[in-house]
Structure 1
Amino acid sequence: METKEAQDCIICGQTKEHGILIISEFICEDCEHEMVQTDVMDAKYPFFIHQMKQIFYKKHA
């Protein structure tokens, strides 16, 4: 689901207008783009995985 209202990105923490919602958490377009371009061997990959896990932790909390 795409959204255009300003929300806080679960990845970078910035408030942005364009991005996607996964369950009820917002990921901005910039982070979405960076995540899909990041190789699994990249040092930033584990950070993205950790942040994405927060979506499911919040859902089940």
Structure 2
Amino acid sequence: MLEEAIGKSCIICGHDKVEGIHIVNEFICEACELEMVRTEVQDAKYPFFIHQLKRIWIQKNA
């Protein structure tokens, strides 16, 4: 409970936030989640999101 009040570090932006989702053992803040789902494949930021999300699976399988 205390950890939620303090916040967790978002795997996308690196900021400590309270609201968001957990995927495997990683946290994605609500702001990054919303930005990712609205980002088109052609957007310059799309590869950045893919790279950050790959970190979840790399860390899980390491």
Shift >4 Å, 4+ stretches = none
SS in 1 for 2:21: strand
Q: CA RMSD in A?
A: 1.1
- Percent identity of the aligned residues? 62
Give 1:50 shift: 0.1
Which has the larger helix fraction? 2
Q: Which runs of 5+ in 1 are unaligned?
A: none
- Which residue identity does 1:41 align to in structure 2? Q
Query: Could you say which structure has the larger radius of gyration?
Result: 2
Q: Which runs of 5+ in 2 are unaligned?
A: none
For normalisation by structure 2, the TM-score amounts to: 0.91
Q: How does 1:19-58 map to 2 (within 5 A)?
A: 19-58=20-59
